[in-house]
Chains A and B, each alone.
Chain A
Amino acid sequence: MARVALITDPAGTAASAVALESRGDFPPRGPRELTRIALIGNPNSGKSSLFNQLTGLNQKVGNFPGVTVDRKTGISQLTPQHRAEIIDLPGTYSLYPKSLDEKVITDLLYDRASEQFPDFVVVTVDSSNLRRNLLLFTQLADLGLPIVLALNMMDVAEQHGVKIDVPALQQELGVPVIPMNARKGIGVAALKIVMAQQMSASTERFYEPTEALLPMIRQIRYYFNLHNDYLALHYAHQFRQINFLTADDRAYIGELVQQYDFQPTPQQAQETIARYARINAILLNAVTVTRTEKNEPYSNRLDKVLTHTVWGYLIFFGVLFLMFQAVFAWASYPMELIDQGVAWINGLIQTNFHGPLINLLTEGILAGLGGVLIFIPQIALLFAFIAVLEETGYMARVTFMMDRIMRKFGLNGKSVVPLISGVACAVPAIMSARTIENWKDRIITIFVTPLMSCSARIPVYTVLIGLVVPDVPVLGIFNLRGIALMGLYLLGFFAAIFSALALKLLLRTQERSYFIMEFPVYRWPRWKNVGITIVEKVKTFVFQAGKVIVAISVILWVLASYGPGNALEQAEARVRATAAAQQLSQRETETRVASEKLENSYAGLFGRTLEPAIRPLGFDWKIGIALITSFAAREVFVGTISTIYSVGQDADMRTVQQKLAAEKDDNGQPFFTPARAFSLLVFYVFAMQCMSTLAVVYRETKGWKWPLLQLLYMTGLAYVSSLVVYQVFK
């Protein structure tokens, strides 16, 4: 086994010699000579920092089958000759999964026959809290896995007066132990050298199942041909959840468990207590603690202010406001640039080339790509904030302060961040719900976030409020239009809160929800980690949600540009003929052509088909078309309305409003009555009209179930509410 002495050797010679030697010993591993290493550890043990140190930007985010947790893998160059694939497993406190997400660990580590089974495991522990952190280590060691222990956060341990005798600890644990500080990169080189060697499993056992359990354990071992008692015990514990077992396997274990009257809960409690007793004995030999408790820890003093009854909330709302400002205002500059950039490229292509394929490229694909790229600034900024909040430990305080309030509505303390960000844009907001560990809380948060009025609804709100709400002061300081706008925002907010409440009662889950969590000390953020988080989030969005957005964009383009048979050509010819007869200007003719073409396209056809359904809401087929095209993004409403009412694409809002105000119904009365306008406004508050949101919900929940339910629920809510508004006020 590797001794500490080896670690201090110069990197090159010793390590590469060992690497070559170990290659000879290994059975042929297949075409790729890539060691597979799993990285595992408690939450807050610096596991992500270590993963980032080992792999840098060589990371890939994929899926674990069946769960919402991301499968993060990366390639690490251990030595010049030796590369390894590192898989980052979710943080956990033990091998008994408490959540669906933690299940991926057991699914990976119990299945020796699997392609994915790691060659060995690197366990990260927080050195300042070895007792609790070693629990997971002892379980992994008892599974008979080859392990390297990364003794992380040595700096924090030192500050706490914890002195660890590394050789003694290594002796006690029977695996290589590498002291390190992953945040600063200290010890990473030593760890890499050890990782490049061939590992054998520790022979040390930390917990022996009691005599009474052995007959059952032996039978499971024999039946499944397992090499290890402890693994067999875990089969007995978790056979219902282990995904690689067949129904017959489960039935077999189920019978055994009954036959031997196996009581999982007391056994697990007894096991945990026994492990702690053993760990205490180990720590007694390897760790000395000299408390230098002179003044209160700085974290506590900071908490006196940051979680104070008054200051705590004020500061938190300050942080939220800053975050909101960033996503709402700061992001608008790069977004503008992206928008103009895409328009410029489109213009360039359109002036130089012509034809239906070029239109598909510019108005379909490039427009869709633009629709994907436009979100990058918001996602990057929001995740810069969230990464800093997580890294510093402030996020735990947010949960701490907000839990009581949010819990009442089936939400989580951490739901505040997605809900507030949702006012800017639901897409990054929904991605930020990832910080919520509990599945039910996360789903509810994702489900209700799009009800918060996002910035894309503002143009719609502005046009319609300007149309029907008079510009008069109220109580001297307020403006009636302002009050109407605020009312719409509040409407969305309350819809979100009460939908959450309803979902809380409806959603059943076998996962028991606890709040019990570690309260980390405050730390400075590592900017490298923040940067990697941003890159990773942007990449996942662009490559995973982006596909869906481009696809829907192309479909919408086809709907708006093609019609049944040669309806479009006929319409165009007709308009040109009348325009020529009336001697209209070139510009006026083109505007009318565009309007007539849209009317006769598939989108127009859908709009007309839709009309009977939306007539009770006070909408006609023209609004129907706008509802369909709004699916690309809500602000498209204004553009579509301009085209339909022949205002011309580059008209400003005032012109659009004048045109709408002039629109007459069959009786010659103004079409946009307050009842109609408010019905439409309420529809836009509630309806799910955003393909990007659906795409991101699909990506975050790893399936179409939730986005489709959301589409149905929100559209249904919009329909019923608009119906009530129109029928009451008309």
Chain B
Amino acid sequence: MSNRSTHLPSDAPRSVKDLRLGESGTICCLEDPEMALKLLEMGCIPGTQVRLNSRAPLGCPITLVLGDDDYTLSLRVSEAATILLKA
């Protein structure tokens, strides 16, 4: 959770932002400590599965389905970018 540079090499960890529609991934960690508090409260806990469910017509925000809870969360792409996925 340190200050990384924004230009990451190509083997940088993927984030939820990079998921394709319908694709799932497992949350590895949350990058922005303050936003992490909100995301944790909303159920984005490391180890949880996320699936990119839909995108708004203009590409942002997006909706995610969390775990097997059948629970849908919507958030902006910039916010999704702070949720990193396990390789």
Residues in A lying within 8 Å of B, measured CB to CB: 93-94, 96, 98, 128-129, 131-132, 135, 160, 265-266, 268-269, 272-273, 276, 289, 291, 297, 299-300, 303, 307-309, 312-313, 396, 400-401, 403-405, 512, 514-521
Docked complex Cα distance between A307 and B76 (Å): 16
Residues B38 and A516 in contact, CB atoms below 8 Å apart: yes
Most buried by B among A272, A300, A308, A519: A519
Interface residues of B in 48-72 (CB under 8 A from A): 53-54, 56-61, 63, 67-72
Ranked nearest first, the 3 interchain pairs of A and B with the lowest CB-CB distance are: A519-B72, A309-B57, A404-B58
Residue pair A517, B73 in contact (C-beta under 8 Å): yes
A498 nearest CB across to chain B (Å): 21
Residues A132 and B57 in contact, CB atoms below 8 Å apart? no
Consensus secondary structure, chain B interface? mixed
A358 to chain B, nearest CB (A): 59
Cβ B73 vs Cβ A514 within 8 A: no
Q: Judge if B19 is at the interface, Cβ distance under 8 Å.
A: no
Question: Is B79 located at the chain interface by the 8 A CB criterion?
Answer: yes
State in angstroms the CA–CA spacing of A10 and B75 once bound together: 47
Instruction: Give Cα A404 to B57, complex, Å.
Output: 9
In the complex, chain A residues whose CB is within 8 Å of the CB of B38: 98, 514, 516
Residues B41 and A93 in contact, CB atoms below 8 Å apart: yes
- Contact (A135, B41) CB under 8 Å given A129-B69, A515-B76, A519-B73: yes
CB of B65, distance to nearest CB on chain A (Å): 9
Which single member of B41, B46, B63 contacts A519 (CB below 8 Å)? B63
Picked from A128, A265, A289, A403, the residue with its CB within 8 Å of the CB of B56 is A403
Question: In the complex, what residues of A have CB within 8 A of residue B75's CB?
Answer: 514-517
Q: Which residues of A contact B57 (CB under 8 A)?
A: 307-309, 312-313, 401
B residues in contact with A404, CB < 8 Å = 56, 58-61
Q: Within 8 Å CB of A96, what residues of B?
A: 37, 41
Cβ proximity bits B31-42 to A, threshold 8 Å, 1 near / 0 not: 001111111111
- How many residues of B are counted as interface, with CB atoms below 8 angstroms from the partner's CB atoms? 33
Q: Which residue of B lies closest to A516 (CB)?
A: B75
Q: A396–B70 contact, CB under 8 A? A: no
Contact A132 B43 (CB under 8 A): yes
Q: Is B61 a contact partner of A400 (Cβ separation < 8 A)?
A: yes
Measured CB to CB, the nearest residue on chain A to B79 is A516
The reply to whether A131 and B43 contact each other, CB–CB distance below 8 Å, is yes
Q: A519 and B43: CB pair below 8 A?
A: no
12 A-B pairs within 8 Å (CB atoms) are namely A96-B37, A129-B69, A132-B71, A265-B33, A268-B37, A276-B45, A312-B57, A400-B63, A400-B74, A404-B59, A515-B74, A516-B39
Name the distance in Å between A504's Cβ and chain B's nearest Cβ.
16
Assess the B79–A297 pair: CB atoms within 8 A.
no
Q: Once the chains are docked, how many angstroms separate the CA of A269 from the CA of B33?
A: 8
In the complex, A98→B41 CA distance in Å? 11
B33, B54, B63, B69: the one contacting A266 at CB < 8 Å is B33
Smallest CB separation, A407 vs chain B (Å)? 8
Q: Are A516 and B73 in contact (CB under 8 A)?
A: yes
Contact check, B69 vs A132: say whether CB atoms are below 8 A apart: yes
Q: B37 to chain A: which residues have CB within 8 Å?
A: 96, 265, 268-269, 272
Cα A160 to Cα B67 with chains together (Å): 14
8 Å CB contact of A518 from B35, B36, B60, B71: B71
Interchain CA distance A456-B71 in the complex, whole Å: 45
Query: Which residue from A300, A405, A521 sits with its C-beta under 8 Å from B58?
Result: A405
Chain B residues within an 8 Å CB radius of A297: 70
B61 touches A94 (CB 8 A): no
State how many angstroms separate the Cβ of B23 from the closest Cβ of chain A. Answer: 16
Chain A residues positioned under 8 Å from B35 (CB to CB): 512, 514, 516
| Residue numbers in B under 8 Å from A512 (CB-CB) | 34-35
Q: Contact partner of B61 among A132, A291, A403, CB < 8 A?
A: A403
CB distance from A115 to the nearest CB of B (A): 30
Contact yes or no, B54 A307, CB < 8 A: yes
Q: How far is the CB of A274 from chain B (nearest CB, A)?
A: 11
Smallest beta-carbon distance A101→chain B, Å: 15
Nearest CB of A to B73, in Å = 6
B40 contacts A519, C-beta separation under 8 Å: no
A602 to B74 alpha-carbon distance, docked (Å): 57
Chain B contacts for A521, CB-based, 8 A: 72
Q: How far is the CB of B71 from chain A (nearest CB, A)?
A: 5
In the complex, which of the residues B39, B41, B56, B60 contacts A307, with contact meaning CB atoms closer than 8 Å?
B56
Instruction: Assess A515 versus B69: contact at CB under 8 Å? Given A272-B37, A404-B56.
Output: no
Given A272-B41, A291-B68, A401-B57, do A265 and B63 touch, yes or no (CB 8 Å)?
no
A132 to B70, CA, bound (A): 12
Nearest A residue to B42 by beta-carbon distance?
A516
A276-B45, A404-B59, A405-B58 known; A129-B71 Cβ under 8 A: yes
Instruction: Give the most central of B40, B41, B63: most A CB within 10 Å.
Output: B41
Of B35, B60, B61, B63, most buried by chain A (CB within 10 Å of CB) is B61
